Amino acid sequence: MNAPEIARALSAAGDASPLIESYRAVRGLTTELCSPLAVEDYVIQSAPECSPAKWHLAHTTWFFENFLLAPLLPGYRPFHPQYGYLFNSYYETVGTFFPRPLRGLLSRPTVEDIYRYRAHVDDHIVELIQRLDPERDGDTVFRVTLGLHHEQQHQELLLTDVKNLLALSPLRPVYRPPSGVAKDRAAPLNWLDFPAGLHAIGSTGDEFAFDNETPRHRVFLDSFALASRPVTNGEYFDFIAAGGYRNASLWLSDGWRKVSEAGWQAPLYWEESDAKWWHMTLSGFQPVDPEAPVCHISYYEADAFARWAGKRLPTEFEWESAAATLAVEGNLLDSDELHPSAAANASHQFFGDVWEWTSSAYSPYPGFQPLAGSLGEYNGKFMVNQLVLRGGSCATPRSHLRATYRNFFYPPDRWQFMGLRLAR
């Protein structure tokens, strides 16, 4: 589902049904992802960088209300006069907003209230789409499409935030039982070689892309090689066993400070028990599978591992040029495993399993222009202090991903499904 495709479909069919279908499918998946949750699970903000599940449900809804219904549906009145204040995430030009670190302090509106809010907005969005004139309303189609990609981003965040919450409980709650899919062995590690040259980077504009993937531009790359799969837990065991977390010379200075202050000795959610590593997963407390890609590591850990291995992290440009022509397939949200796993695939696991840290700072591409108006705050204002990750994870919807996609997080972040692929 992407804006140009939809626009074409609209023109062809003479009605908006494909877009409505997409809308219902994406919005419905969000609800489905919440089905294992108790009401209590919707409420809590387990860390400042996380949000309560009910906040995700409301914020994504507000996005449609604020950027579509309010300006574009004649006569629309907001569902509740305070929801704009409560569920605006960070759009300064839209108005003031409730402080992010306090999102977990609101018991009201209740979960039920928020589902009512969703239904109300859904009804009106469908009405809006039905009124669309495909010739003239390209911008509206684009905004619906953007809203759905936005919703998909929050589907992944919802899962990682729920995981973070459940992992805090000594009761070790299970979000969903293990899928029962038989576990593969990791593919052998090969090196994929790429010659030096000028490469075109960024979106071609043929499918939906965020503004941060534009404009397409040229980058010169020296010859390089990338590993044929991500680093595995088994390889990471060796790093730990070799004293990786105690050896300052492997770490960036800021990373070493973080390791020391936070007392990190393993990836997030890992615990040693009877000389064996276990970790919390969305299917509860499980042994760490040595064959699966290592996950829930910060940039600092990815970088230290690479240094220890005598290799380095790829740049985002190396990664994109290597992945540009590969099919977007792998262990994504659609496979419903909700955890990285070993799997030889034709795309070398470039897509799915874990977001792969690159060594590239999240910066604007040359000539970058953010979207006009308040939507310009979507991506551009975060272009400092963060690093780019590529490739999607086991919690990313397949239809949300592409080779040019740039995800970005702060170097110490670990709660996303984050891992690494070596370069040299």
**Which residues in this chain contact a second copy in the complex, by CB under 8 A?**
38-44, 46, 54, 82, 85-86, 90, 92-93, 98, 102, 104-111, 165-166, 168-171, 173, 198, 217-220, 222, 248-249, 251-256, 299-300, 303, 312, 359-361, 363-364, 366-367, 377, 381-385, 387, 411
Cα 353 to Cα 284, 387, 396, distances in angstroms: 18, 19, 9
For residue 409 the two structure tokens come to 């997080």
Minimum Å gap between C-beta 362 and a second copy is: 9
Q: Which is nearer to a second copy, 155 or 379 (CB)?
A: 379
Minimum Å gap between C-beta 256 and a second copy is: 7
Secondary structure of residue 402 in the 3-state scheme: coil
Sign of the Cα pseudo-torsion (294, 296, 299, 301, in order) = negative
Cα-based angle 318, 387, 94 (whole degrees, multiple of 5):
125
Minimum Å gap between C-beta 169 and a second copy is: 5
Minimum Å gap between C-beta 221 and a second copy is: 8
Minimum Å gap between C-beta 219 and a second copy is: 6
Give 217-222 contacts, CB < 8 A, sequence gap 24+: 217/365, 217/366, 217/367, 219/317, 220/196, 221/194, 221/196, 221/197, 221/315, 221/317, 221/318, 221/321, 222/196
Contact 202, 213 (CB under 8 A): yes
Q: Which is nearer to a second copy, 234 or 364 (CB)?
A: 364
Q: Which is nearer to a second copy, 239 or 251 (CB)?
A: 251
For residue 223 the two structure tokens come to 């010859």
Q: Which residue, among 81, 64, 82, 62, has the nearest Cα to 73 in the 3D structure?
A: 64
Minimum Å gap between C-beta 187 and a second copy is: 27
Q: Which residue, among 224, 201, 228, has the nearest Cα to 404 in the 3D structure?
A: 201
Contacts of 369 (CB under 8 A, 6+ apart): 211, 214, 215
Contacts of 404 (CB under 8 A, 6+ apart): 201, 202, 203, 209, 213, 320, 324
Q: Which is nearer to a second copy, 40 or 135 (CB)?
A: 40
Contact 207, 402 (CB under 8 A): yes
Minimum Å gap between C-beta 321 and a second copy is: 13
Minimum Å gap between C-beta 408 and a second copy is: 12
Q: Which is nearer to a second copy, 21 or 271 (CB)?
A: 271
Dist. CA 53–CA 154, nearest whole Å = 10
